[in-house]
Amino acid sequence: MQLSTRLDCDLVAVEQADEITLLVELTAPTSDSTSPRQPATLQVVLDRSGSMGGDRLEGAKAALIALVDRLDPTDNLGVVAFDNRVSLVVPAGPLDSKTTVKQAIAAIDPGGSTDLSSGYFRGLQEARRVAGPSGATVLLVSDGHANAGVIDADQLGGVAAEAHSQGVTTSTLGFGLGYDERLLAALARCGAGNELFAEEADTAVALISGEVDGLLTQVAQAASLRITWTKHVAGVAVLNDLPVVGLPDGVMVELGSFYAGETRRLLLKLQVPGIAALGLAQVATLAFTHVSLPDVVQHTATLPINVNVVPGDEAAGRVRDLEVRSEALFQQTQQAKRQSSRLLSAGQAPEAARLLQTTSSMLRHESAYLPRQMTIELMKEADLMDSLADESTFDSVRAAKASSYDATMKSRNRGRQSRGGGFALRWAVGGDGVDGSTLVLEAWQLQRLLRVLPADLHDALRLPAGGVRDESAAKAVATALGGLHPAYGFFDGATTHGGFTVERA
C-alpha cells in the first residue's frame, strides 16, 4: 500500500488562525495471481417478503446461483432469507456441494412482511461463526421498508459498526423504489461496505456479481487512518462520508477493505489557531494501518504533516494547490447530494431541487478558475446535479435513492470504480481517446433518457448487448433528444462513427 499527501498550501502566517486542507491518496497494490488467496466468506441476507415476489426475487436468486460457481470450494457461503420470520437457507460454510447449495437457493419462495433486523442479526451470527483471518462480508438485499423488529437506522448502524470492529463488513443492495435508503445507507456506512441501488432485476444481478468481484480481489482489509494532531491544531474535519471515531489527540477514520489496484482519496481540514514561532512546524501525524492479503499481516505506515510558518506579508501571497481545491469542490458536491437525499426522504422535494441547482451553479462558477483537465469531472458532476434536480420534481423517490447511492460511491469510496450498476455507450468506430466518445449512465439516468424518447427507440438503448446500433439509430436518438439535451453530442457524434454499442459499466 502506498500513502501520499498534498496540502492546499504549506505556508501559514505566524500567530494567525488558519485552516489547511490535506488531500490523502492511498493506492493498493495489484493482486499477485501466483499466490493463493485466503478463503473468502460471503453471507447473504435476502429479503423474501411478499413485495420481492416475481422478477425481483427470481433475479436475486439467479445472481446468487451464478456466484456459487464463481467461488472456490474452500470459500464460505451462507444464505439467510427473511420476511416476518428468518430461514437459514444455506448454513455458512465451505462449498462442499455446489449443487445442493444451488437447489436450496432456487427453492426460496416469497413470504410476508419485512423483519429486516432479525434477518440481519442472524446473518451476522453466521458470518462470525465461520469467518477466517480475512474476515467476512454480509450482503443485505432488500426492496422494502422494515416494518417489524428493530427499524431505527442509528441503532442498526451501531450494530453494523460493532460487527465491523470484529472483522465483518456490511454491504447493502436496495432493490426497486420502495426500500428505506436511510436505513440501508446507515448499515453500509457503519459497516464499511458498499451501498448499492438497483431499480430492476438485471442491474441487481450485475451489482451482486460486482460485489463478489470486489470480495475476490481484496488485497487489504481492516484499513484505518489515524490522524494525531499536535499542539498547533485545534481540530480535524473529515470531508468524506466515512465512519470517524474521536480520540483524545485526534481521530480515527475507518476505511474498510481495498480492492487490487484501486486508489482511494480522502480530504481532511485542519484548524490551526495560530502558531507563535517562525519556521517548520509539524501539525499532525498520519498512521495508516491495514491487514494485507493473502498473508494476513498487519502493516502501519506513518507520515508527518508539516507547514512553514512565515510572516504575514509572505503568507498573503501564497497560492493554493488547485488539485486540492478541485477535490474540495468535488466532496462539497457529494455532501449536497447526501443532504438532498435526506430532504427528499422527508418529503421536501422543492428544497432538495434548489440545493442541487445551487450546487451545480457553484461548480460551474468555481471551475472557471481551474485548469481544463480538472474541470472535466466537475462539469460532469454539475450536469449530474442538474439531472438530479429535475428528477426531484418528477420522481422524488428515485432521486432520493440515486442521490444517496451516488454520493456514497464518490465520497466514502472515492476512487473505487462502480462494478456493473451502470451502462457504457461507446461510438462503434474511431472513438479511442476522443472526448465525448463514451457516455456512461447509471440505471436511473438511463430511465430518464428513455422517458424523453419514443417507445420505438427504447430497444436501441437497452441490454442485452447485441452488436452495434447503426448510424441511423444514433441519428434517430439524437433527433428525438434535440440539440439542447446533454446526451445529444454523444449520439450526434455516433452518426459519423459507425453508430454505438451498449454494455455494462
Is 503 among the domain residues? Answer: yes
The values of phi and psi at residue 41, to 5°, are: -125, 115
**Is the Cα dihedral 238, 242, 247, 252 positive or negative?**
negative
HSE-up of 7 (CA within 13 Å, CB side)? 17
Question: Does 135 lie in the same domain as 66?
Answer: yes
pLDDT attached to residue 286: 97
The grid cell for 343 is 430532504
Is 34 among the domain residues? Answer: no
Written as one letter, the residue type at 479 is T
Question: Does 191 lie in the same domain as 53?
Answer: yes
Question: Does 269 lie in the same domain as 123?
Answer: no
CA 219 – CA 211 distance, rounded (Å): 15
The model's pLDDT over 321-332, given as tens digits with 9 standing for 90+, comes to 999 999 999 999
The β-bridge relationship of strands 168-175 and 136-142 is parallel
Question: DSSP H helical segments within 234-273, as ranges?
Answer: none
Q: Which domain holds residue 189?
A: 41-216
In 3D space, the residue among 311, 326, 369, 370 whose CA is nearest the CA of residue 11 turns out to be 311
Q: What share of the chain is helix, strand, coil (3-state, %, to 5)?
A: 40, 30, 30
The model's pLDDT over 126-155, given as tens digits with 9 standing for 90+, comes to 999 998 888 899 999 988 666 676 778 889
The model's pLDDT over 288-319, given as tens digits with 9 standing for 90+, comes to 999 998 888 999 999 999 999 999 888 888 88
Question: Does 59 lie in the same domain as 152?
Answer: yes
CA 34 – CA 188 distance, rounded (Å): 32
Is 19 among the domain residues? Answer: yes
CA geometry: angle 99, 105, 106, nearest 5 deg: 85
Averaged confidence pLDDT in the chain: 89
The model's pLDDT over 454-490, given as tens digits with 9 standing for 90+, comes to 999 998 887 665 688 999 999 999 999 999 888 999 9
Which of 179, 198, 216 finishes a domain?
Answer: 216
Question: Does 476 lie in the same domain as 464?
Answer: yes
Question: Does 194 lie in the same domain as 45?
Answer: yes
pLDDT attached to residue 465: 59
Question: Does 212 lie in the same domain as 223?
Answer: no
pLDDT attached to residue 399: 93
Which of 292, 317, 342 finishes a domain?
Answer: 317
Is 210 among the domain residues? Answer: yes
pLDDT attached to residue 337: 96
Look up the pTM and report it.
Answer: 0.86
Between 85-99, 192-206, 300-314, the lowest mean confidence (pLDDT) is in 192-206
Stretch (H or E) spanning 116: helix 116-130
Q: What share of the chain has pLDDT > 70, as a percent?
A: 97
HSE-up of 282 (CA within 13 Å, CB side)? 9
The values of phi and psi at residue 46, to 5°, are: -110, 125
- The band of 493, judged by pLDDT with boundaries at 50, 70 and 90, is very high
Question: Does 192 lie in the same domain as 75?
Answer: yes
What CATH code is carried by the domain that includes residue 179?
Answer: 3.40.50.410
Split into its structural domains, the chain has a count of 4
Is 36 among the domain residues? Answer: no
The grid cell for 329 is 469542490
pLDDT attached to residue 334: 95
Question: Does 502 lie in the same domain as 370?
Answer: no
CA 246 – CA 242 distance, rounded (Å): 13
Is 35 among the domain residues? Answer: no
Question: Does 209 lie in the same domain as 60?
Answer: yes
| CB-CB neighbours of 327 under 10 Å | 24
Is 179 among the domain residues? Answer: yes
Which of 152, 182, 216 finishes a domain?
Answer: 216
CA 460 – CA 423 distance, rounded (Å): 13
Question: Does 243 lie in the same domain as 192?
Answer: no
Question: Does 402 lie in the same domain as 451?
Answer: no
What CATH code is carried by the domain that includes residue 233?
Answer: 2.60.40.3670
CA 46 – CA 107 distance, rounded (Å): 13
CA 433 – CA 156 distance, rounded (Å): 46
The β-bridge relationship of strands 168-175 and 192-198 is parallel
HSE-up of 99 (CA within 13 Å, CB side)? 0
CA 375 – CA 397 distance, rounded (Å): 30
pLDDT exceeds cutoff 90 at 120 = yes
- The band of 170, judged by pLDDT with boundaries at 50, 70 and 90, is very high
CA 462 – CA 501 distance, rounded (Å): 10
pLDDT exceeds cutoff 80 at 413 = no
pLDDT exceeds cutoff 80 at 33 = no
